Structure 1
């Protein structure tokens, strides 16, 4: 799957044309340095997706700023209530409430419904500065990576089932080496490396080969 994604990204015209112009260099104001996974979470939308068989046209992304771990929720609408429910389902149920939720200045995230949810779980808002991608650069890069990867992954498949492939793509991204953090996002969150299907079927490795975990 990983090789296919890489190949499609290189060959896909949509991916090449969707890369856009590189952002302006320079410091990124308002950067956040969390101390643990899911202390701070960024959120954003991938828009203009083809309408799926389930009626989804948006992909909501949640990224842990500490590890780079990305989760997604295909959606058919983007109301504050929908966003709050998606956060509760994808983030809160697995990792608890974040101390900080970072997003762009958009009415979706400023409505009364989402504000009540945010206050209930003790999170606070921090908006980016005047729509400058550099102010939320990590999430912006992840959004562009996911956009290119989703398009590449479904380039030769039925466009109506892209939301079925989204979770598989998130797994591929989360188990890919992060050159900045020098680990995979999966390892930084869970403390061990994800085991692939083939490895699971082959059984445990010989005792002479020790698998790395954060608990040893």
Structure 2
């Protein structure tokens, strides 16, 4: 069908014509307040980008890889280890002590692991941030961490725009520039505008796949 061929062509062109960004932390000291309200409605305030983050979820680790800020993570969810079926290539060779199983049944170990990072001088409770998924069954884990004054930001996107916001928030929290989230927005806007220019402006004519990404030899298509 015409609109399907047009959409696929546009997705490929949009992704190929946007340069892959090189992301670094800000070159200048920025002491402006960062304020992020997470999926639970909890607002976290920082006086600047976090030096360290806990990446508790494959979504967070993949995002850190894509925005060039993986080095900010000092601890990971064990689901992203190289031994897990959902392994992320960048995790290969990472020491076993950089992982902890994040679950409600293992919350005491999560807390003890984080407290150990504090004792070792690898974590600052006032400026570093835990990134976690907003599943309700993990709420007890986040509550326990917050009980020890750890800053936790959770994410639970349910749309393409929500995914873009997650990336933008993690960029903000880590001090990365916003070129990746901007690229994602551009792809959606470019496809939407070009479809409209080609007379495909009826929702019934559109397919739901509007975003594609290619990273680490993996093609992903997201739905809106």
Bigger Rg, which one: 2
Higher relative contact order (CA 8 A, sep 6+): 2
In the superposition, the TM-score normalised over structure 2's length comes to 0.30
In the superposition, the TM-score normalised over structure 1's length comes to 0.31
